[in-house]
Amino acid sequence: MTEHKNTELKIGDAAPDFTLLTDGDGRITLSDLRGQKVVLYFYPKDDTPGCTKEACAFKDNLSALQSLNAAVIGISKCSVAKHDKFKAKYDLNFPLASDENGDVCERYDTWVEKSMYGRQYMGIDRSTFLIDENGKIAQIWRKVKVDGHIDEVKNALEALAKAA
């Protein structure tokens, strides 16, 4: 893990490109998705209560998001094997990308110092990035609260569609 801290991403910035391995022996490259919107969400860990609830909300709303020309990608530092189990257990219908070395988390400023019960540790800040058809960041949500988040994402996608 590098110790450098890049400037935090802002709306209007180019979304940092990446290629990551995904569940099902797949591979995904962000720039290959140009021409459609991308909901890129970072989550701490497969098969934990909050992460499961968030993944299932995206699963249950995927057709609505796709009707707004959006793809969904979940990213965590979990292994591809863990992603395969998580995806099968909850019948998830979108790719889960593995950022085991944390490079993409670093570039999106989601690898942060956290605190629980007075203990400091490094972890993924639950964050979502809405990327437009041209690869620019259209919306950023940090420290996401799972309840109601899917509605915020849908509203932002609808606003983006109206603005086009």
Residues with a known catalytic role: 51
Other C-beta atoms closer than 10 Å to the C-beta of 34 total 13
Strands 111-116 and 119-124: what pairing? antiparallel
Residue in 40, 13, 43, 42 with CA at minimum distance from that of residue 28 = 40
Angle formed at CA 48 by CA 94 and CA 17, multiple of 5 degrees: 40
Residue type, 141: W
- Mapping DSSP onto H, E and C, the string for 133-164 reads CCCEEEEEECCCCCCCHHHHHHHHHHHHHHHC
